[in-house]
Amino acid sequence: MSKSSTAAHRLPNREAALDALYSDISAKNMFPFWATSTDVAHDEIKQLMGTQKAVPHRWSYKNDIEPILFRAAELVTMDDSERRSLILVNPGLSPRRATVSTMYTAYRLNDPKEVMPPHRHSPSAIRFGLTGKGNFTGVGGEDITFGPGDMVLTPVDTWHNHGNVGEEPAINLSVLDLPLVETLNAVYFEHEYTELVDGKPVKKKQQTATVPTDYSARAYDHGGLKPRFLQHHRGAGFSSPMYVYRWEAMQELIERFIDWDGDPYEALSIEYTDPLTGGPVFKTMTFFAQVLRPGEKTRPVRQTASLLVAPFEGKGHSMIDGKRFDWEKFDNLAVPGGSWFEHINGDEKRPAILFVASDEPALKCFHLFKKWGRDAAGDIVKLV
């Protein structure tokens, strides 16, 4: 022990002086990063690592989400608010608007013939159809009507508006990287949409379509072929130029591979990609459909990426850090990064399909994405 540390222990009223020091540091909005004791009050390592963390959690669509959506539709009109979305807040992160640390999921019900005005924002987002055939998003001059299983992009800084052009209520879920963008202090929203009319900006309640309604399919729904005569820089130019991914195409690919072995850790997983680069649709998030054949179980996986899992067909359960979470159609499951997890389809006759969002691309940008699994013997192996 050094002379200075020996002298410190001999100081009169040292504990009281330390308490006063810590109080002064806290009052001046600073943090003492040194370990002086194992006392709970002054275990600085534990405090530094003890920030809010997302926890595994399941939200029930049938029991919790759907009833509240219909109650809200009765009580809150588009005159009251341009948004009527139900954000899933992780119990470990409350009151922060986050389902996992970097992303949130929100459910939205639109009444028939209900379309909100255009807006744009820095967070990137997708909409995924659950019920109804009239879900609507106008984005970047493309009017998109979508149904169950269809995924629609609303990229960073791209004007868009949502609603329902059908004759029955329509429900969709959205996933945004808003918590990540908020952490980076880069969130902004704009609502004053204008178009040039006779050379002058005029406010509009809905975007004027500038491309055919089937533009995304016409331009990009035939992998490996790129129309050179088209302008592929759409919106801010930072995401996939294909703004709608139809469920029929995903279903066809699933059926094509349904008898393949798949991956022991991910089963049959098919990722939505940018048709020009083959990379993820956004630089911050990626999305995929994960198919569990009848009776199929994935091996345990742990990764730095966080997942939002929305069962689209079938039912089953997941084990996350040793705890069982039963799920069924349209539920939502938060799988925080760092958790061990596995998915199980206990039905021996019907497959289960999960719609999954991941912040994997953001982590890869910073070289922070890592992944481990347990092999058939139960030993931990590095996957990425």
- Mean pLDDT across 184-207: 92
pLDDT interval class at 15 (50, 70, 90): confident
- Looking at the chain, the whole-number percentage of residues with pLDDT higher than 90 is 78
Question: 84-141 pLDDT, tens per residue?
Answer: 789 999 999 999 999 999 999 999 999 999 899 999 999 999 999 999 999 999 999 9
pLDDT in the model for residue 82: 65
**Is the predicted pLDDT of residue 380 greater than 60, yes or no?**
yes
pLDDT of residue 223: 85
CA distance 361 to 345: 27
1 pLDDT above the threshold of 50: no
Of the segments 17-31, 46-60, 347-361, which one has the largest average pLDDT value?
347-361
Residue 81 lies in a domain: yes
Does residue 209 surpass a pLDDT of 70? yes
Using CA atoms, how far apart are residues 17 and 22, in angstroms rounded to an integer? 9
pTM of the model: 0.90
Q: What separation in angstroms does the CA of 165 have from each of 48, 146, 174? A: 50, 10, 18
pLDDT tens digits for range 261-315: 999 999 999 999 999 999 999 999 999 999 999 999 999 999 999 999 999 999 9
Q: Is residue 13 situated within a structural domain? A: no
Which pLDDT value is given to residue 203? 92
243 vs 50, residue with greater confidence: 243
Closest alpha carbon to 341 in 362, 355, 326, 323 = 323
pLDDT at residue 81 in the model: 64
| CA separation for the pair 242, 150 (Å, rounded) | 13
CATH of the domain at 189: 2.60.120.10
11 part of a folded domain: no
Max Cα–Cα distance, the chain, nearest Å: 84
Q: Return the pLDDT at 75.
A: 84
Residue 152 has pLDDT above 90, yes or no: yes
Within a domain: residue 50?
no
Residue 330 included in any domain: yes
Question: For all residues of the chain together, what is the average pLDDT?
Answer: 91
CA 184: distance to chain centroid?
17
User: 21-30, 123-132, 166-175, 238-247 — which is least confidently predicted?
Assistant: 21-30
Give the pLDDT of residue 218.
Answer: 95
The total number of structural domains in the chain stands at 1
Let me know: does 334 contact 56? Beta carbons within 8 Å: yes
Q: What percent of the chain has pLDDT over 70?
A: 91
Tokens of 95: 């009151």
In-domain check, residue 180: yes
29-88: pLDDT as tens digits: 776 766 555 555 656 556 666 678 999 999 999 999 999 999 988 888 766 666 678 999
CA separation for the pair 319, 300 (Å, rounded) = 9
In a domain? residue 121: yes
> Would residue 352 count as lying in a domain?
yes
The whole domain housing 180 covers 57-382
